[in-house]
Amino acid sequence: MNTKPSSVLESNLNGARLSHLSIGCTAPKAGETPALPGNHLLIRAPLESNLSSVIDPGSEPHSPDLYTVAAEATPLDGLEAVTDEHIAFYRQEGYLAIDNVFTPGEVESAKAGLLDLILGRNTSFAGITFEAGAAERLEELTVDERQDAVRKLMHFVDHEPRLKAASEKPAVLALIGRILGESPRMFQDMALIKPPRFGREKPWHQDKAYFDLPVDARVTGVWIALDPATVENGCMHLQPLGHHRGPQIHFKRRDWQICDTEIMGKPSVAVPLRPGGALFFDGLLPHGTPTNYSPHRRKALQFHYAGASCGKTSTAERLAVFGSEGKDVTC
């Protein structure tokens, strides 16, 4: 059973800052992660293709007090274990952690698909962002080093059938359908690879702050561990119940994020997972992942689903809800 909530958190935020060198930037599709941090260094990656890639701008280190673990979630064992009570738990707490959602074979297949993309074996794919810490060494990296230089990949399902299969696993779609109350439609695919020793933080945020979707749209994120995800290597941290407060204001700081002062010192629930385990969570649930200072790689896939009938909204409308502009708040 999953850990019970630690506290409901109040929120109110602010701020803005991000600056770096920029000569290129991937354009997000409508309704997906916005280009709020904006500036990325465009490079040519070597190895097996003429792949263009972007460098994550990086940011200053975060305070350890942003990730104060009060409890660790205890995952269910397998999708078959999910009862109506667990769906009620998801609705109330905002999340459900489940081990053994994907078989070892499916995990290996997804990892092989990711590796092919990282090594540039698919010349039609250009959705890789490298960690800032690897920018200067990218041309000289070995295969292993190159894997550990990647921060994330996006928009790959139409380029890599093994990853598309992960996003369409019928039993997973069935659970999301139960959660959403209608057939799900996947609208965003990402892989988050927190390299050993410098894989950087994803500051606290609500995923819906990144999506041009109607404010009342129900969104479920599915975060899938491909390596062991631990407190040490940057597993997911959540604030249970936080989705009930609705949209929180986000600020451009280390990323498009909730203000640190709203999070600092407040207890969170960490969600360690074995490879093949998955976290299902509400699109308004505040969550973040700390820097990976460990020697261990942490690869994960993340897919977002809305109901098949869900429409779209504009970036301006989204920022009117999640942005600080005109709201007289500071961070």
The residue (of 159 and 194) whose beta carbon lies closer to ligand AKG is 194
Closest CA to 276 of 154, 109, 156, 148: 109
Task: Give the amino acid at 255.
Answer: D
Cα(219)–Cα(95) distance, integer angstroms = 12
Q: How far is the CB of 259 from ligand AKG (least distance, A)?
A: 17
The residue (of 202 and 243) whose beta carbon lies closer to ligand AKG is 202
Q: How far is the CB of 234 from ligand AKG (least distance, A)?
A: 6
The residue (of 138 and 190) whose beta carbon lies closer to ligand AKG is 190
Token duo for residue 120: 């540039």
Cα(95)–Cα(224) distance, integer angstroms = 13
Cα(82)–Cα(90) distance, integer angstroms = 11
Q: How far is the CB of 42 from ligand AKG (least distance, A)?
A: 21
Q: How far is the CB of 236 from ligand AKG (least distance, A)?
A: 7
The residue (of 40 and 194) whose beta carbon lies closer to ligand AKG is 194
The residue (of 146 and 237) whose beta carbon lies closer to ligand AKG is 237
- Helix/strand/coil for 248: coil
The residue (of 45 and 271) whose beta carbon lies closer to ligand AKG is 271
281-306 in b/e form (b: 16+ CB < 10 A) is: bbbbbbbbbbbbebebbbbbbbbbbb
The residue (of 181 and 208) whose beta carbon lies closer to ligand AKG is 208
Closest CA to 2 of 215, 286, 280, 295: 280
The radius of gyration computed from the CA coordinates of the chain, to the nearest angstrom, equals 18
- Interstrand relation of 52-55 and 128-130 (parallel, antiparallel or unpaired): parallel
Q: How far is the CB of 198 from ligand AKG (least distance, A)?
A: 13
Cα(184)–Cα(306) distance, integer angstroms = 6
Cα(280)–Cα(292) distance, integer angstroms = 22
> What residues have CB less than 8 Å from 322, skipping those under 6 apart?
206, 208, 209, 247, 248, 249, 250
Q: How far is the CB of 207 from ligand AKG (least distance, A)?
A: 5
CB contact at 8 A, 305 and 184: yes
Nearest residue to the partner ligand AKG, using Cβ: 192
Q: How far is the CB of 194 from ligand AKG (least distance, A)?
A: 6
CB contact at 8 A, 302 and 220: no
Q: How far is the CB of 204 from ligand AKG (least distance, A)?
A: 9
User: Which parts of this chain interact with ligand AKG (CB under 6 A)?
Assistant: 190, 192, 194, 202, 207, 234, 287, 289, 300, 302
The residue (of 45 and 190) whose beta carbon lies closer to ligand AKG is 190
